[in-house]
Amino acid sequence: MWSDGSTAPSLTISSAGQYWVEVIFQGGCIESDTTTANVAPPPTPFNLAEYDTLCLGDTIVIEAPAEVGVNYLWHDASTLNHYLVTSSQTVGLILANACGEASDETTINFEDCDDIYVANAFSPNFDGINDFFGLMVERNRTLQITGMKIFDRWGGKLFDRSNFPSSPISLGWDGDVDGKPASTGIYVYLIEVLKPDGRKLILSGDFTLLR
């Protein structure tokens, strides 16, 4: 006999509490036992955060809701309590325990935010304004320059640097050739840039050096 007076072979419960069973064997022997049952609620419904469009090269970490006694299952079958996002995708998460599950998903988009500019003139007189020639990137972002070359009008190479960041711009050309100031005039540039998604961009053109 169970604690609720029933005599079935098993007892179905729906709430937490203490339960006992008493068994009478042939011959009159009686055995009993008691157990405490804890009934967990199903996971709480949740909403994953929504994001504005992000820039290529950015990284965001989506944190799963902090809830005791649940298992995490992301759309890619990972089971951590967080998910790292570096590219456009729809991220889905399921929280589950023995009593049910809750789920949600969010779509995250990345785009190329790197608006790149190369000045058409610079004045290396060290007055703090346009003293260096290099690559300028909006939003204070930094790109990797895999190669930057400066030539005079006759094709003579005056500057050659590889594998350096676009910022600070002082890593670019300071207007000197072999330690001496280059003359006022028109010069040609060839710049190769590595984008965050692995693409290479080649920029070329001319600019004016002013003294």
- In angstroms, the CA 189 to CA 102 distance is 57
Q: Answer for the pair 86, 59: CB distance below 8 angstroms, yes or no.
A: yes
pTM here? Answer: 0.58
- In angstroms, the CA 164 to CA 170 distance is 11
Taking 90 as the threshold, does the pLDDT of residue 171 lie above it?
Answer: yes
Q: Answer for the pair 95, 48: CB distance below 8 angstroms, yes or no.
A: no
Confidence of residue 12 (pLDDT cuts 50, 70, 90): confident
What pLDDT does residue 29 have? 87
C-alpha to C-alpha distances, 112 to 90, 134, 188, nearest whole angstrom: 18, 20, 27
Tokens of 171: 């890593």
Dihedral sign (CA 55, 56, 58, 59): positive
Confidence of residue 36 (pLDDT cuts 50, 70, 90): confident
CATH code given to domain 116-209:
2.60.40
Residues of the chain with CATH 2.60.40: 116-209
The Cβ of residue 23 has, within 10 Å, a number of other Cβ atoms equal to: 10
- In angstroms, the CA 93 to CA 102 distance is 8
Q: Answer for the pair 40, 13: CB distance below 8 angstroms, yes or no.
A: no
- In angstroms, the CA 120 to CA 133 distance is 9
pLDDT digits (tens, 9 = 90+) for 97-131: 988 999 999 999 998 877 888 999 999 998 889 99
pLDDT digits (tens, 9 = 90+) for 61-74: 999 999 988 999 99
